[in-house]
Amino acid sequence: MLKIGITGGIGVGKSIVCRLFELLGIPVYDSDARAKWVMQHDVALKQELQDAFGEEAYTLAGELNRPYLASIVFNNPDRLAKLNALVHPHVGADFSNWAKANAKAPYVLKEAALMFESEAWRQMDKIITVSAPLNVRIKRLKQRDPHRTEAEILAIIGKQLPEEEKMARANYIIHNDDKQLLIPQVLQLHQQFLSLLK
Beta-strand runs (E) in 80-193: 107-111, 126-131, 172-175
Q: Is residue 45 part of a domain?
A: no
End-to-end CA distance of the chain: 11
* Structure confidence by residue, pLDDT tens digits, 47-77: 999 999 999 999 999 999 999 999 999 888 8
Q: How many domains does the chain have?
A: 1
- d(Cα 72, Cα 127) in Å, to the nearest integer? 31
Tell me the C-alpha distance between 198 and 195, whole Å: 5
Whole-angstrom Cα distance, residue 1 to residue 104? 8
17 close to 176: Cβ distance less than 8 angstroms = yes
* Contact (CB, 8 A) for 110 and 4: yes
Q: What is the CATH number of the domain that holds 176?
A: 3.40.50.300
Flag whether 61 is in a domain. no
Q: What is the mean pLDDT of residues 156-173?
A: 93
The predicted model gives 84-99 an average pLDDT of 94
Residue 164 Cα distances to 43, 72, 121, 167, 181, angstroms: 38, 29, 17, 5, 21
| Percent residues over pLDDT 90 in the chain | 91
Do 14 and 6 touch, CB atoms closer than 8 A?
yes
Q: Tell whether 41 is covered by a domain.
A: no
User: Which band of pLDDT confidence, cut at 50, 70 and 90, is reported for residue 198?
Assistant: confident
Residue 63 lies in a domain: no
pLDDT for the residue 75:
81
Please indicate, yes or no, if residue 165 is contained in any of the structural domains: yes
Q: Which stretches of 24-122 are DSSP H helices?
A: 31-41, 43-53, 66-73, 77-101
Phi, psi of 58 (to 5 degrees): -130, 145
Q: What is the pLDDT of residue 74?
A: 80
Domain that holds residue 12: 2-27+102-196
Phi, psi of 48 (to 5 degrees): -60, -40
What per-residue confidence (pLDDT) applies to 149?
Answer: 93
* Residue 40 banded pLDDT, cuts 50, 70, 90: very high
Is 162 in contact with 39 (CB distance < 8 Å)? Answer: no
Is residue 60 included in any domain, yes or no?
no
Please report the pLDDT score of residue 28 as a whole number: 98
pLDDT for res 53: 95
Average pLDDT of the chain to the nearest whole number? 94
Q: Is the pLDDT of residue 185 over 90?
A: yes
In a domain, 142, yes or no: yes
The answer to whether residue 50 sits within a structural domain is no
pLDDT, one tens digit per residue, over 141-157 is 999 999 999 999 999 89
Taking 90 as the threshold, does the pLDDT of residue 111 lie above it? yes
pLDDT at position 77: 87
Mean pLDDT of 5-23: 96
DSSP 115: T
pLDDT at 184 over 90: yes
pLDDT score of 141? 95
